[in-house]
Amino acid sequence: MPTRVRVVVATYERAARLPALVAALERQTLPTDQFDVVIIDDGSTDDTYAVLQELAARTPLDMRIVRNDRNRGPAYARNAGWRTSDAAVIAFTDDDCAPMPRWLEGGLAAMQGSIGVVQGRTIPDPSAPQEAWTVSQRIESFDDRYETCNIFYRTDVMRAAGGFDESMPFFGEDTVLGWTTRRMGIASAFAPEALVHHAVTKPGFAYHRRWAMQHGNWATLIKRFPEMRREVLWLNLFTKRRHAALLAAVTGVAMGTVWRPAFLLALPYVLHVRPHSLNPDELRDRLLGAPFDAAVVTGLLRGSLRERTLVL
Protein backbone atom coordinates (compact mmCIF):
# COMPACT_ATOMS: atom_id res chain seq x y z
CA MET A 1 0.00 0.00 0.00
CA PRO A 2 1.40 3.44 -0.88
CA THR A 3 2.27 5.46 2.19
CA ARG A 4 2.76 8.92 0.76
CA VAL A 5 -0.05 11.01 -0.65
CA ARG A 6 -0.68 14.58 -1.76
CA VAL A 7 -4.09 16.14 -1.17
CA VAL A 8 -5.06 18.63 -3.91
CA VAL A 9 -7.95 21.08 -3.62
CA ALA A 10 -8.92 23.75 -6.13
CA THR A 11 -10.90 26.61 -4.61
CA TYR A 12 -12.72 29.62 -5.99
CA GLU A 13 -14.42 32.25 -3.84
CA ARG A 14 -15.39 29.97 -0.98
CA ALA A 15 -13.30 31.55 1.75
CA ALA A 16 -15.87 30.80 4.44
CA ARG A 17 -15.65 27.05 3.84
CA LEU A 18 -11.88 26.70 3.90
CA PRO A 19 -11.33 26.60 7.69
CA ALA A 20 -13.67 23.58 7.98
CA LEU A 21 -11.87 21.83 5.12
CA VAL A 22 -8.44 22.34 6.67
CA ALA A 23 -9.74 21.27 10.09
CA ALA A 24 -11.07 18.06 8.54
CA LEU A 25 -7.67 17.37 6.98
CA GLU A 26 -5.99 18.00 10.34
CA ARG A 27 -8.16 15.23 11.84
CA GLN A 28 -6.93 12.57 9.42
CA THR A 29 -5.80 9.34 11.05
CA LEU A 30 -3.00 9.00 8.51
CA PRO A 31 0.15 10.41 10.15
CA THR A 32 0.87 13.94 9.02
CA ASP A 33 4.36 13.00 7.83
CA GLN A 34 2.75 10.74 5.23
CA PHE A 35 0.79 13.40 3.36
CA ASP A 36 0.96 17.01 2.29
CA VAL A 37 -1.70 19.42 1.09
CA VAL A 38 -1.79 21.87 -1.81
CA ILE A 39 -4.73 24.28 -2.13
CA ILE A 40 -4.98 26.33 -5.32
CA ASP A 41 -6.79 29.67 -5.21
CA ASP A 42 -8.07 29.86 -8.78
CA GLY A 43 -8.18 33.64 -9.12
CA SER A 44 -10.70 34.38 -6.36
CA THR A 45 -11.75 38.00 -5.92
CA ASP A 46 -12.93 37.60 -2.31
CA ASP A 47 -10.62 37.09 0.69
CA THR A 48 -9.86 33.46 -0.15
CA TYR A 49 -6.11 34.01 -0.46
CA ALA A 50 -5.88 35.87 2.86
CA VAL A 51 -7.80 33.11 4.61
CA LEU A 52 -5.53 30.47 3.07
CA GLN A 53 -2.41 32.34 4.18
CA GLU A 54 -3.72 32.50 7.72
CA LEU A 55 -4.63 28.80 7.71
CA ALA A 56 -1.24 27.80 6.29
CA ALA A 57 0.55 29.82 8.99
CA ARG A 58 -1.15 28.05 11.89
CA THR A 59 -1.89 24.52 10.69
CA PRO A 60 0.36 21.62 11.71
CA LEU A 61 -0.11 20.20 8.22
CA ASP A 62 2.53 20.39 5.52
CA MET A 63 0.37 22.77 3.48
CA ARG A 64 1.26 24.92 0.48
CA ILE A 65 -0.84 27.60 -1.21
CA VAL A 66 -0.81 28.29 -4.96
CA ARG A 67 -2.50 31.41 -6.33
CA ASN A 68 -3.53 31.76 -9.97
CA ASP A 69 -3.50 35.33 -11.28
CA ARG A 70 -6.96 34.78 -12.80
CA ASN A 71 -9.65 32.16 -12.88
CA ARG A 72 -8.43 29.46 -15.26
CA GLY A 73 -10.84 26.65 -14.43
CA PRO A 74 -10.65 23.58 -12.21
CA ALA A 75 -8.60 21.47 -14.63
CA TYR A 76 -5.77 24.02 -14.77
CA ALA A 77 -5.90 24.56 -11.01
CA ARG A 78 -5.76 20.86 -10.13
CA ASN A 79 -2.92 20.25 -12.57
CA ALA A 80 -0.96 23.02 -10.85
CA GLY A 81 -1.49 21.18 -7.57
CA TRP A 82 -0.37 17.66 -8.44
CA ARG A 83 2.32 17.99 -11.11
CA THR A 84 5.09 19.02 -8.70
CA SER A 85 4.39 16.13 -6.32
CA ASP A 86 6.77 13.28 -5.58
CA ALA A 87 4.04 11.43 -3.65
CA ALA A 88 2.91 8.02 -4.88
CA VAL A 89 -0.78 8.95 -4.79
CA ILE A 90 -2.79 12.12 -5.42
CA ALA A 91 -6.05 12.53 -3.45
CA PHE A 92 -8.60 15.05 -4.69
CA THR A 93 -11.43 16.65 -2.77
CA ASP A 94 -13.31 19.93 -3.16
CA ASP A 95 -13.57 23.15 -1.18
CA ASP A 96 -17.17 22.40 -0.18
CA CYS A 97 -16.30 19.01 1.30
CA ALA A 98 -15.25 17.66 4.70
CA PRO A 99 -13.24 14.43 4.53
CA MET A 100 -13.88 12.16 7.49
CA PRO A 101 -10.89 11.15 9.66
CA ARG A 102 -10.22 7.82 7.89
CA TRP A 103 -10.60 9.29 4.41
CA LEU A 104 -6.94 9.08 3.43
CA GLU A 105 -6.35 5.73 5.13
CA GLY A 106 -9.44 4.27 3.50
CA GLY A 107 -8.48 5.44 0.04
CA LEU A 108 -4.91 4.25 0.33
CA ALA A 109 -5.97 0.86 1.69
CA ALA A 110 -7.96 0.26 -1.50
CA MET A 111 -4.97 1.17 -3.67
CA GLN A 112 -3.77 -2.43 -3.86
CA GLY A 113 -1.98 -4.34 -6.61
CA SER A 114 -2.85 -3.03 -10.07
CA ILE A 115 -5.49 -0.59 -8.81
CA GLY A 116 -4.69 2.86 -10.15
CA VAL A 117 -7.89 4.79 -9.38
CA VAL A 118 -9.97 4.70 -6.18
CA GLN A 119 -13.25 6.50 -5.73
CA GLY A 120 -14.46 7.14 -2.20
CA ARG A 121 -17.95 7.39 -0.75
CA THR A 122 -19.57 10.84 -0.68
CA ILE A 123 -22.80 11.76 1.10
CA PRO A 124 -24.57 15.05 1.84
CA ASP A 125 -23.54 16.63 5.14
CA PRO A 126 -25.79 14.84 7.68
CA SER A 127 -25.94 17.91 9.91
CA ALA A 128 -27.41 20.15 7.17
CA PRO A 129 -31.15 20.40 6.48
CA GLN A 130 -32.04 18.86 3.13
CA GLU A 131 -35.03 20.65 1.71
CA ALA A 132 -36.54 21.03 -1.71
CA TRP A 133 -34.01 22.26 -4.29
CA THR A 134 -31.00 21.87 -2.06
CA VAL A 135 -27.82 20.88 -3.87
CA SER A 136 -25.25 18.34 -2.70
CA GLN A 137 -23.51 15.17 -3.86
CA ARG A 138 -24.16 11.49 -3.14
CA ILE A 139 -21.88 8.74 -4.43
CA GLU A 140 -22.57 5.37 -2.79
CA SER A 141 -20.86 3.14 -5.37
CA PHE A 142 -18.37 3.51 -8.19
CA ASP A 143 -19.90 5.69 -10.88
CA ASP A 144 -18.85 6.76 -14.34
CA ARG A 145 -18.08 10.43 -13.75
CA TYR A 146 -14.95 10.16 -11.58
CA GLU A 147 -15.92 13.22 -9.53
CA THR A 148 -13.00 14.99 -7.87
CA CYS A 149 -14.92 15.61 -4.68
CA ASN A 150 -13.49 12.26 -3.57
CA ILE A 151 -11.06 10.36 -5.77
CA PHE A 152 -7.51 8.99 -5.61
CA TYR A 153 -5.08 8.44 -8.50
CA ARG A 154 -1.65 6.90 -8.55
CA THR A 155 0.69 9.68 -9.60
CA ASP A 156 2.23 7.63 -12.39
CA VAL A 157 -1.26 7.03 -13.78
CA MET A 158 -1.94 10.78 -13.70
CA ARG A 159 1.27 11.44 -15.62
CA ALA A 160 0.59 8.73 -18.20
CA ALA A 161 -2.94 10.09 -18.74
CA GLY A 162 -1.69 13.67 -19.08
CA GLY A 163 -3.63 15.00 -16.10
CA PHE A 164 -6.80 17.01 -16.48
CA ASP A 165 -7.62 18.31 -19.95
CA GLU A 166 -7.46 22.08 -19.54
CA SER A 167 -9.47 22.65 -22.72
CA MET A 168 -12.48 21.02 -21.05
CA PRO A 169 -14.56 23.54 -19.09
CA PHE A 170 -16.28 22.88 -15.79
CA PHE A 171 -18.61 19.86 -15.92
CA GLY A 172 -16.83 16.88 -17.33
CA GLU A 173 -13.17 17.76 -16.89
CA ASP A 174 -12.84 15.11 -14.17
CA THR A 175 -14.79 12.61 -16.27
CA VAL A 176 -12.35 13.01 -19.17
CA LEU A 177 -9.41 12.04 -16.96
CA GLY A 178 -11.24 9.03 -15.54
CA TRP A 179 -12.26 7.69 -18.94
CA THR A 180 -8.76 8.27 -20.29
CA THR A 181 -7.40 5.96 -17.59
CA ARG A 182 -10.16 3.45 -18.37
CA ARG A 183 -9.07 3.40 -22.01
CA MET A 184 -5.53 2.79 -20.80
CA GLY A 185 -6.74 -0.34 -19.02
CA ILE A 186 -6.14 1.05 -15.52
CA ALA A 187 -8.04 -0.88 -12.87
CA SER A 188 -10.25 1.03 -10.44
CA ALA A 189 -11.95 0.34 -7.11
CA PHE A 190 -14.51 1.84 -4.75
CA ALA A 191 -13.60 2.54 -1.11
CA PRO A 192 -16.66 3.11 1.12
CA GLU A 193 -14.35 3.75 4.09
CA ALA A 194 -12.92 6.80 2.31
CA LEU A 195 -15.88 8.96 3.32
CA VAL A 196 -16.45 12.63 2.50
CA HIS A 197 -19.33 14.82 3.65
CA HIS A 198 -20.44 17.19 0.91
CA ALA A 199 -21.95 20.59 1.73
CA VAL A 200 -25.69 21.07 1.28
CA THR A 201 -26.60 24.41 -0.25
CA LYS A 202 -29.70 26.07 -1.64
CA PRO A 203 -28.57 28.23 -4.57
CA GLY A 204 -30.84 30.46 -6.55
CA PHE A 205 -32.37 30.38 -10.01
CA ALA A 206 -29.18 31.52 -11.78
CA TYR A 207 -27.27 28.50 -10.48
CA HIS A 208 -29.90 26.02 -11.70
CA ARG A 209 -30.10 27.69 -15.10
CA ARG A 210 -26.33 27.58 -15.50
CA TRP A 211 -26.19 23.97 -14.29
CA ALA A 212 -28.88 22.97 -16.78
CA MET A 213 -26.98 24.52 -19.68
CA GLN A 214 -23.73 22.85 -18.61
CA HIS A 215 -25.35 19.50 -19.35
CA GLY A 216 -24.48 20.25 -22.96
CA ASN A 217 -20.99 19.00 -22.13
CA TRP A 218 -22.41 15.46 -22.09
CA ALA A 219 -22.31 15.56 -25.89
CA THR A 220 -18.63 16.56 -25.75
CA LEU A 221 -17.91 13.61 -23.50
CA ILE A 222 -19.82 11.13 -25.67
CA LYS A 223 -18.16 12.40 -28.83
CA ARG A 224 -14.74 11.98 -27.26
CA PHE A 225 -15.52 8.63 -25.64
CA PRO A 226 -18.13 6.89 -27.81
CA GLU A 227 -18.00 3.85 -25.52
CA MET A 228 -19.73 5.94 -22.87
CA ARG A 229 -22.90 5.83 -24.95
CA ARG A 230 -23.19 2.09 -24.42
CA GLU A 231 -21.92 1.99 -20.86
CA VAL A 232 -23.51 5.10 -19.35
CA LEU A 233 -26.54 6.25 -21.32
CA TRP A 234 -29.99 4.67 -21.07
CA LEU A 235 -30.94 3.18 -24.45
CA ASN A 236 -27.61 4.59 -25.70
CA LEU A 237 -29.22 8.02 -25.81
CA PHE A 238 -30.60 9.39 -22.53
CA THR A 239 -28.63 10.65 -19.53
CA LYS A 240 -31.76 10.07 -17.39
CA ARG A 241 -34.88 8.02 -18.01
CA ARG A 242 -37.12 10.90 -17.05
CA HIS A 243 -35.82 12.88 -20.02
CA ALA A 244 -37.28 10.18 -22.27
CA ALA A 245 -40.56 10.46 -20.37
CA LEU A 246 -40.54 14.26 -20.73
CA LEU A 247 -39.99 14.10 -24.48
CA ALA A 248 -42.74 11.48 -24.79
CA ALA A 249 -45.06 13.80 -22.84
CA VAL A 250 -44.29 16.75 -25.10
CA THR A 251 -44.89 14.58 -28.15
CA GLY A 252 -48.14 13.24 -26.68
CA VAL A 253 -49.50 16.70 -25.90
CA ALA A 254 -48.62 17.95 -29.39
CA MET A 255 -50.19 14.95 -31.12
CA GLY A 256 -53.14 14.78 -28.75
CA THR A 257 -54.71 17.84 -30.30
CA VAL A 258 -55.40 15.82 -33.44
CA TRP A 259 -55.46 12.28 -32.03
CA ARG A 260 -56.65 12.11 -28.44
CA PRO A 261 -55.11 8.71 -27.50
CA ALA A 262 -51.69 10.33 -27.95
CA PHE A 263 -52.22 12.15 -24.63
CA LEU A 264 -51.45 8.79 -22.97
CA LEU A 265 -47.80 9.34 -23.89
CA ALA A 266 -47.71 12.02 -21.19
CA LEU A 267 -48.77 9.60 -18.45
CA PRO A 268 -45.28 8.29 -17.43
CA TYR A 269 -43.94 11.82 -16.89
CA VAL A 270 -47.10 12.94 -15.09
CA LEU A 271 -46.71 10.01 -12.72
CA HIS A 272 -43.08 10.96 -12.20
CA VAL A 273 -43.74 14.59 -11.24
CA ARG A 274 -47.02 14.17 -9.41
CA PRO A 275 -46.85 15.22 -5.73
CA HIS A 276 -47.38 12.54 -3.10
CA SER A 277 -48.82 14.97 -0.56
CA LEU A 278 -50.19 18.49 -0.23
CA ASN A 279 -47.07 19.67 1.58
CA PRO A 280 -46.28 23.15 0.19
CA ASP A 281 -42.56 22.38 -0.18
CA GLU A 282 -43.25 19.22 -2.13
CA LEU A 283 -45.84 20.96 -4.31
CA ARG A 284 -43.32 23.69 -5.12
CA ASP A 285 -40.60 21.11 -5.73
CA ARG A 286 -42.78 19.16 -8.17
CA LEU A 287 -44.02 22.32 -9.86
CA LEU A 288 -40.48 23.50 -10.56
CA GLY A 289 -39.20 20.03 -11.50
CA ALA A 290 -40.71 20.02 -14.98
CA PRO A 291 -39.24 23.40 -16.06
CA PHE A 292 -35.84 22.32 -14.75
CA ASP A 293 -36.00 19.03 -16.66
CA ALA A 294 -36.95 21.01 -19.76
CA ALA A 295 -33.97 23.33 -19.21
CA VAL A 296 -31.61 20.36 -18.85
CA VAL A 297 -32.92 18.80 -22.07
CA THR A 298 -32.46 22.18 -23.76
CA GLY A 299 -28.85 22.23 -22.58
CA LEU A 300 -28.36 18.68 -23.85
CA LEU A 301 -29.83 19.60 -27.24
CA ARG A 302 -27.58 22.65 -27.51
CA GLY A 303 -24.56 20.47 -26.79
CA SER A 304 -25.77 17.88 -29.27
CA LEU A 305 -26.02 20.48 -32.01
CA ARG A 306 -22.58 21.86 -31.15
CA GLU A 307 -20.92 18.44 -31.22
CA ARG A 308 -23.19 16.90 -33.86
CA THR A 309 -23.87 13.89 -31.67
CA LEU A 310 -27.26 13.36 -30.04
CA VAL A 311 -27.40 13.01 -26.26
CA LEU A 312 -30.61 13.53 -24.30
The tens digit of pLDDT for each residue in 103-157 reads: 999 999 999 999 999 999 999 999 988 777 788 999 999 989 999 999 999 999 9
**Domain span at 90:** 5-202
Number of domains in the chain: 2
* Final residue of a structural domain among 202, 219, 241: 202
- The reported pLDDT for the residue numbered 3 is 59
Mean pLDDT, rounded, of the chain = 93
**Are 250 and 188 in a shared domain?**
no
**Are 102 and 236 in a shared domain?**
no
The CATH number of the domain where 85 resides is what?
3.90.550.10
**Are 121 and 269 in a shared domain?**
no
**Are 68 and 198 in a shared domain?**
yes
**Are 282 and 160 in a shared domain?**
no
* Residue 227: partners with Cβ closer than 8 Å, 6 or more residues away: none
State pTM to two decimals: 0.92
- The reported pLDDT for the residue numbered 290 is 86
The whole-angstrom separation of Cα 67 and Cα 215 is 29
**Are 124 and 169 in a shared domain?**
yes
Q: Which has the closest alpha carbon to 21: 94, 116, 84, 104?
A: 94
42-79 burial: b if 16+ Cβ within 10 Å, else e: bbbeeebbebbeebbeebebebebbebeeebbbbbbbb
* Residue 137 within any structural domain of the chain: yes
The predicted-structure confidence for 160-172, as pLDDT tens digits, reads as follows 999 999 988 788 9
* Residue 210 within any structural domain of the chain: no
- The burial of 298, by beta-carbon neighbours within 10 Å (0-12 exposed, 13-18 middle, 19 or more buried), is given as middle
Give the CA-trace dihedral at 216, 80, 92, 105, to 10 degrees.
160
* Residue 256 within any structural domain of the chain: yes
* Residue 221 within any structural domain of the chain: no
* Residue 211 within any structural domain of the chain: no
* Final residue of a structural domain among 202, 220, 253: 202
**Is the pLDDT reported for residue 276 higher than 80?**
no
Quick one: how far is CA 102 from the chain centroid? 21
Query: Residue 91 pairs with which residues in a beta bridge?
Result: 7, 152
**Are 22 and 116 in a shared domain?**
yes
**Are 244 and 174 in a shared domain?**
no
The whole-angstrom separation of Cα 312 and Cα 310 is 7
CA torsion sign for 128, 134, 135, 139 is positive
Residue type at 248? A
* Final residue of a structural domain among 202, 220, 246: 202
Q: Is 215 helix (H, G, I), strand (E, B) or coil?
A: coil
* Residue 216 within any structural domain of the chain: no
- The reported pLDDT for the residue numbered 1 is 54
**Are 77 and 115 in a shared domain?**
yes
Q: Which has the closest alpha carbon to 104: 159, 176, 27, 174?
A: 27
Query: What proportion of the chain, given as a percentage, has pLDDT over 90?
Result: 79
Average pLDDT over residues 85-93: 96
**Are 189 and 53 in a shared domain?**
yes
Confidence grade of residue 289 (pLDDT, cut at 50, 70, 90):
confident
**Are 168 and 271 in a shared domain?**
no
* Residue 217 within any structural domain of the chain: no
* Residue 154 within any structural domain of the chain: yes
**Are 68 and 162 in a shared domain?**
yes
CB 102 within 8 A of CB 194: yes
Average pLDDT over residues 207-228: 94
